[in-house]
């Protein structure tokens, strides 16, 4: 969406072919997979042409047949309640997997939508399972990733259940900052690929509250925000305000 080349973007246009050349190698599924096994894994990956902003990867209720790894761009997932209310359940950055919640039920329980032009690796799940006997580190890594997903969801439950609006937005910005940093982007300046509406929905807040807290943070010189662009000036203050669960601070960057 944003075009300024001096600012780290969530999308990077160069399409890499092989996992071992992928920037996300250490963050994605094939961690600790030998070079020859990598070929096996790559052989089942379907790389589809990039999806455009607003396009769906899959929709709630559809039969499940593959999980997706984000290569570049970003994806939001959300569920619907009876009366039409939406709950955004996650934003997925490069190296993160989408669709894990559907493995158990055989149907997608959420809808996945591209927030910007996004390229993905599609991993047909039954074929992936077939590889497990050949590549034992594959299920191990998948379980590890899913465990972190559970952990992340619990952090979010804490956020939604116990935190004030300020704590929520601070936690959210910190999470984004950390994850972008791990992916080689700047951790103090980035462009949000999601709207205020999405952020508020995700954090259990009204859009207006998100807006207000943003300006409050700006008034307190913690950050500068202009529409989608965020510059974090005082990361320490943000950490203080976020009140992260203990575990995440005692063992930093572990999750």
3-class DSSP state for residue 184? coil
Burial degree of 99 (CB within 10 A; 0-12, 13-18, 19+): buried
Residue 229, strand partner residues: 191, 226
End-to-end CA distance of the chain: 29
Between residues 72 and 135, which has the closer beta carbon with respect to a second copy?
Answer: 135
Stretch that binds DNA, among 94-102, 116-124, 207-215, 239-247 (CB under 7 A): 207-215
Residue 207 site contact among DNA, a second copy, none (CB < 5 to 8 Å, cut-off depends on kind): DNA
How far apart are CB 237 and a second copy at their closest, in Å? Answer: 14
Between residues 26 and 164, which has the closer beta carbon with respect to DNA?
Answer: 164
Question: Which of residues 208, 220, 247, 249 is near DNA by CB under 7 A?
Answer: 208
Question: Which of residues 31, 80, 207, 237 is near DNA by CB under 7 A?
Answer: 207
Q: Which residue has the tokens 């902003």?
A: 53
Build a one-symbol-per-residue string for 9-48: x at contacts with DNA by CB under 7 A, - elsewhere: ----------------------------------------
Going by C-beta distance under 8 Å and a sequence separation of 6 or more, which residues neighbour residue 207? 196, 197, 200
How many CB atoms lie under 10 A from the CB of residue 152? 14
Residue 100, strand partner residues: none
Q: Using CB under 7 A as the criterion, which residues of the chain lie in contact with DNA when the complex forms?
A: 1, 164-166, 195-197, 204-212, 214-215, 225-228
């Amino acid at each position: 969406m944003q075009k300024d080349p001096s600012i780290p973007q969530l999308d990077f246009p160069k399409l890499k072919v092989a996992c071992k050349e992928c920037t996300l190698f250490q963050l994605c599924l094939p961690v600790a997979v030998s070079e020859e096994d990598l070929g096996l894994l790559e052989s089942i990956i379907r790389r589809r042409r990039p999806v455009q902003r607003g396009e769906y990867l899959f929709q709630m209720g559809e039969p499940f047949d593959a999980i997706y790894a984000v290569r570049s761009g970003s994806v939001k997932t959300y569920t619907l309640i009876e009366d039409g209310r939406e709950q955004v359940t996650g934003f997925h950055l490069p190296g993160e997997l989408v669709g894990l919640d559907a493995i158990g039920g055989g149907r997608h329980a959420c809808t996945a939508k591209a927030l910007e032009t996004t390229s993905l690796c599609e991993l047909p799940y039954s074929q992936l399972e077939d590889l497990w006997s050949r590549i034992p580190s594959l299920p191990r890594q998948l379980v590890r990733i899913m465990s972190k997903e559970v952990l992340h969801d619990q952090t979010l439950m804490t956020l939604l259940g116990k935190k004030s609006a300020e704590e929520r937005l601070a936690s959210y910005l910190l999470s984004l900052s950390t994850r972008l940093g791990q992916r080689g982007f700047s951790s103090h300046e980035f462009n949000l690929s999601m709207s205020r509406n999405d952020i508020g929905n995700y954090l259990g807040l009204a859009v207006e509250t998100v807006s207000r807290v943003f300006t409050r943070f700006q008034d307190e010189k913690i950050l500068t925000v202009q529409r989608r662009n965020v510059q974090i000036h005082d990361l320490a203050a943000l950490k203080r305000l976020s009140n992260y669960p203990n575990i995440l601070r005692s063992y930093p960057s572990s999750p």
